[in-house]
Structure 1
Amino acid sequence: MTKLRKGYCVNNEVHEYLMKIKKENNLSSVSLALEMVVKEHEKRSRIKTEDTAKLMAKEIGKVLRDDISKFKLSASETDKNVQILIEMINGHLIKEGIGKIVTTTGLTTEISMESPALKIAKEEVKKRLYRNKIMKENKINE
């Protein structure tokens, strides 16, 4: 590696520190002491950056973990409720002896229809989701 010759002005305190580094490390010149100090500074700066990145990753992980836990809980509760509804509807269909049903798409039964009750239920769920979204946004903005 080629070396550049440059002239730098430092105060007496810095010069004494470089002389101390030179002596402690058995270096042949103050230039080598200065190089050593700069390399050490660069190494420590890199370590600080890495530590900061690790700390940020850990904190972001905590926040995401909390959010994921909430989503898991919500999904679990929803799944449970859907399974209960399926069981109740199935029981009702068996009790009433209903073999064929009309679907909303008509893909499997060739007949398609939406009952007024289904339309009301869809609209209610749509309103509920909208209200929950607004409440969540308000909570975030507080």
Structure 2
Amino acid sequence: MKEEKKQFRVSLNEDAIDYIEEIKREQNIGFNGDAVAFLIKDHQRLRREQWSLNHISKSVMTILTDSINQNIREELKRVRLGTNNTDRNTQILIELFNGLIYHQDIPDIITTEDIKMAAIKTAENIVQERIENKRQRKIDWEEKYQKKEG
């Protein structure tokens, strides 16, 4: 079924006329009106594609943002749980030491700034070693996991 055509008179500058002639040659179109119709259809197609690309870009950005936010939430949850555990352990130690100090009737203490006992140095060294070992295990696990993905 052939579309009904209506006559429409326009005035164009020389560049526009040259472009229409170029389109007529490239697309093997015989009439100026058909070349203009081709350009309009092509322009409409490009606008739809541009809208589609913008929509896809926004959708991808939303998905990535949601994924990143979820990962951050999970990491923060792990940090919060670790912090809560550390805080609980610290409070337990404070209570134990307070009870010991009370039971021993110790009126005051000497701080580690005044004298650092060998037992404290030993405890610091073992804790530092544990932290380093745990960090190394985490690095090893991450490298192993990344090799599996890659």
The reply to whether residue 80 of structure 1 matches residue 88 of structure 2 is: yes
Indicate the structure with greater helix content.
Answer: 2
2:56 corresponds in structure 1 to 48
Distance 1:121 1:11, change over 3 A: farther
Distance 1:140 1:116, change over 3 A: same
Following TM superposition, by how much is the alpha carbon of 1:75 offset from its aligned partner in structure 2, in angstroms? 1.0
Following TM superposition, by how much is the alpha carbon of 1:10 offset from its aligned partner in structure 2, in angstroms? 4.7
Distance 1:63 1:91, change over 3 A: same
Amino acid at match of 1:133: R
- Structure 2 alignment gaps of length 5 or more: 1-11, 145-150
Q: Deviations over 1:65-122 (max 9, x none)?
A: 22211111111111111100010001111111111111122xxxxxx11111110110
Following TM superposition, by how much is the alpha carbon of 1:45 offset from its aligned partner in structure 2, in angstroms? 0.4
Partner Cα distance (2:51, 2:62) in 1: 17
Following TM superposition, by how much is the alpha carbon of 1:11 offset from its aligned partner in structure 2, in angstroms? 8.7
Q: Secondary structure at the match of 1:100?
A: coil
1:91 corresponds in structure 2 to 99
1:118 corresponds in structure 2 to 120
2:3 corresponds in structure 1 to none
1:104 corresponds in structure 2 to 112
The reply to whether residue 128 of structure 1 matches residue 130 of structure 2 is: yes
Amino acid at match of 2:139: E
Name which one, 1 or 2, has greater alpha-carbon Rg.
2
Distance 1:91 1:10, change over 3 A: farther
TM-score by length of 2: 0.72
Give me the CA root mean square deviation: 2.4
Runs of 4+ in 1 over 4 A off after TM superposition: none
Q: Deviations over 1:8-54 (max 9, x none)?
A: 43599xxxxxx8xxxxxxxx833222222111111110111111111
Amino acid at match of 1:40: R
Distance 1:89 1:33, change over 3 A: same
1:109 corresponds in structure 2 to none
Amino acid at match of 2:53: S
- Structure 1 alignment gaps of length 5 or more: 13-18, 20-27, 106-111
